[in-house]
Each structure stands twice: as structure tokens, then as C-alpha cells.
Amino acid sequence: MQWNWTQQGWPEFTYDPVRLEPLEQQFLLSSGEVVGAIRHVSDDERDQLRIEVLSEEAVKTSEIEGQMLDRLSVQSSLRRQFGLEADSRPVKPQERGIAEMMVDVYGTWSKRLDHETLFRWHGMLMTGSRHIGTIGGYRTHEDAMQIVSGRHDKPTIHFEAPPSTRVPEEMASYVDWFNKSAPHDESPLPALTRAGIGHLYFESIHPFEDGNGRIGRALAEKSLAQNIGQPSLVALAFTIEEARKTYYSQLERNQRMLDITEWLVYFAETILAAQQTTLRRVAFHLNKAKFYDRFRGKFNERQEKAIARMFREGPAGFKGGLSAENYISITRTSRATATRDLHDLVEKGVLRRTGERRHTRYSLRLA
């Protein structure tokens, strides 16, 4: 099988910039919208938005790789690292590690990339891991680094990366390319083009024993931030996870060739969709502020607790809507009291009611 790194010309990727031009322009327009929208959010809400976006990205980038994390624990760890008030819930090593990496990516976006940064991220990600030999360094094992699926006796090989002996040389070239392609450097590239090449290039080297996907997506975030001049807060992992099979099939197809136009179009469209998700989240936080201004002082303690819990679910809300059972579980109250509380909130215009009897569900009335 001829992988991209075995072909003459590697790592010089080719693509059609004309097909990317309108997408690049849309990215710049949407970036301006995101920056402008965030400016209208209060400092407290901006902190909360940052925590929610980073925690969602941390959870989803891990979920893409099959690792399930607790979002509230990740949020708690993020809040501590940003110096914000946090609850005392226990945080597992993996949750703390991914949170530390997300904060590091966020805080060092403008700095040039180096091997030490990549090693630091890997060390954070692999906190508590016992299944790999090298943590905080590139792989050195002699076995082939393969992406496989299927049965042990008849595996399907989706990709095979360069042997470990080639990794230091390949990564030296990668780091050099990443820095030179940044804005105001020797060979600057447009934002989406650079992020798309950078992600595929890194995943094709696959320099670590584990964590390559998560670090590769972090590099895309760093690349985008450098191109727009501030942390992007773009919901990239969230958007990729929604269509994970497409992401993997695009990677697999384009790791067999050096003409990566189709990959760059796919990745650019994914980033544009991620920007729209971020805009919806900003709108949600603006509406949340208006909501509390409108209804301040109109809730009892139980209602206050339930509504705060609903807001913590984010723009998507409770899956299928809030039920009476959800309300009882959150407030630890009786069914009769829950019924009165929910009816009161509907009457005040706080909640919208849909369905009947056991199918009754409630959602927040936001602008």
C-alpha cells in the first residue's frame, strides 16, 4: 500500500486554492462575528463561556478516540486552573490531564511551536496511563504504528505511519513547517488551508504511541488562533464528533495521496460549521443574561436550582426536554410540589410546555 509518506514529493502537499478561496473568506467573516458577539458578553459570562467551550471540546476530542469523560469534572478542573471558584467534586487523572492541556493550548496560542510543547501536552494527556512505554516523548518502539479495526486474526489496516526511527526527522520538518506557515513568517498560509494541512500532516506522522488525534486537533486550534490573532474558541472537536465516521473516512482516503484538495474542503467546511456552533453558544449566554434580568427574584429556591441545572446543559438542553422526574431528582421534592412549581414557571412564561401526561416536557423560553 502506498501511504502518503512513502510517495515521491512527501511532505509537499498539493491542492486547488481556488476551491478554498470562498471558504477562507467566510471564515474571516465568521471570525469577526464571533469576536464581536463575545464582546457583548459580561466578564462573568465570558468566563463561563470559555469554561463550557473548553470542557465540551475536551470531552468530545476524547470521545472521538473512544474515551468517555465526565463533563462536570472537566469543568471543575478547568475552573481551578483558571483561578475561578470550583466545586469539590473528584476529578480523575485523565480529566485533569485533558483540562490542563486545553488550558495550555488556550494560554500559549501565540507562541511558536516546539517539541517541548508537544511533549508537555502528551505528558498531560497521558496522566495516569500505564499502557504505553513513552510518555512525554515521541514513540521509539520497533513495531509498525498502524490504525486498525476488525478482528485480531483478520484486521483491517486503515493507515500505517512512518517507522519510529523516522519520527524525529519528520517532526523536525513538521515543526519547521508549522512555524514558517504562520502569519508574518516566511511562508504564511490562509487560516483554513494551514489548519487543514497541519492536522493531516501531523496525523500522517503519528509521532506518539497514543493521543495523536487529540494533539492533532489541539494543533488545529493553535493554528486557527494564530491566524485570527486570539484564541478561536471554535467548537472543532464537538463538530467532528457529530460526524466521526466522515472524519475518519476522509483521513483514511487522504492519507493515501499528496493532492489533498478534498480533505482541505472537508476540513474547512467542518471549521465553518464549528464557528456557527460557537455563535449559537454565545447567543445562548446573551439570552441567559437577559433571562435572569427578566425573571430575577421570581423563583423559589427549588425553581432556582432546577433552572440553573437546565442552563448547565447548554444550548441543546436536556435530551428530549425536562421532565417532572428530572425536576424531582434535581430538587429532591415531592411530585405534588414539582407539579405546582412547574405549572407556576409555565404561567410566568419561564418554561414552555409540550406533550401530555407522562410525555410532558419543559424547555426554557429564551429570546
Per-residue pLDDT reduced to its tens digit, 124-151: 999 888 788 899 999 999 988 988 888 7
- Can you read off the three cell numbers belonging to residue 161? 505511519
| 326 and 251 both lie in a single domain | no
CATH code for the domain in which residue 313 is found: 1.10.10.10
What crossing angle do the helices spanning 261-295 and 43-64 adopt, rounded to 10°? 140
Q: Say how far apart CA 220 and CA 212 lie, in whole Å.
A: 12
**Distance separating alpha carbons of residues 304 and 291, to the nearest angstrom:** 12
Q: Residue range 71-92: average pLDDT?
A: 89
Question: Taking 90 as the threshold, does the pLDDT of residue 242 lie above it?
Answer: yes
pLDDT of residue 104: 96
**Which value, to the nearest 10 degrees, does the dihedral of the CA atoms of residues 64, 66, 68, 69 take?**
-60
Q: Which of 43-52, 238-247, 314-323 has the highest mean pLDDT?
A: 238-247
Verify that 124 and 243 share a domain, yes or no.
yes
**Whole-angstrom Cα distance, residue 79 to residue 81?**
5
Per the listing, cell 444550548 goes with: 315
**What's the farthest any 2 CA atoms get from each other in the chain?**
73
Predicted TM-score of the model (pTM): 0.88
Terminal-residue alpha carbon distance, the chain: 55
Our CA dihedral for 212, 99, 193, 252, rounded to 10 degrees, sits at: 30
Q: Is residue 44 one of the residues assigned to a domain? A: yes
| Rounded distance between C-alpha atoms, residue 185 and residue 228, angstroms | 14
**Per-residue model confidence (pLDDT) at position 118:** 98
Count of domains observed in the chain: 2
The domain of 309 spans: 298-364
Report residue 1's pLDDT band, with 50, 70 and 90 as the boundaries.
low
* pLDDT at 152 (0 to 100): 78
Instruction: Give dist(CA 307, CA 327) in Å, integer.
Output: 9
pLDDT at residue 32 is higher than 80: yes
Q: What is the mean pLDDT of residues 238-265?
A: 96
- Which among 284, 316, 340 is the end of a domain? 284
Residues 279-291: what's their mean pLDDT? 86
pLDDT confidence tier of residue 317, bands split at 50, 70 and 90:
confident
The number of residues in the chain equals 367
Report whether pLDDT(49) > 90: no
Q: At what angle do helices 212-228 and 43-64 cross, to 10 degrees?
A: 140
Instruction: Name the more confident of 312 and 74.
Output: 74
In a domain, 292, yes or no: no
Q: Are residues 124 and 248 in the same domain?
A: yes
Helices 115-125 and 93-107, axial angle in degrees (round to 10)? 150
3 state SS of 258? coil
Domain membership of residue 25 (yes or no) is yes
Residues 158 and 303 in one domain: no
Q: Does residue 174 have a pLDDT over 70?
A: yes
Identify the residue with better confidence: 59 or 86: 59
Place of cell 486474526: 153
Q: Give the three cell numbers for residue 342.
A: 412547574
Q: What is the mean pLDDT of the chain?
A: 93
Q: What is the pLDDT of residue 151?
A: 79
Residue 264, C-alpha cell as written in the block: 482541505
What CATH number does the domain containing 173 carry? 1.10.3290.10
Where is pLDDT greater, at 96 or 42?
96
pLDDT value at 72 more than 80? yes
Return the number of other C-beta atoms located less than 10 Å from residue 355's C-beta: 12
Question: What pLDDT does residue 286 have?
Answer: 84
* Mean pLDDT, residues 181-208 taken together: 98
**Mean pLDDT value across residues 359-367:** 89
Which whole number is the average pLDDT over 260-287? 93
Q: Which of 235, 196, 219 is nearest to 109 (CA)?
A: 219
Would residue 289 count as lying in a domain? Answer: no
Q: Which residues contact 84 (CB under 8 A, 6 or more apart)?
A: 47, 51
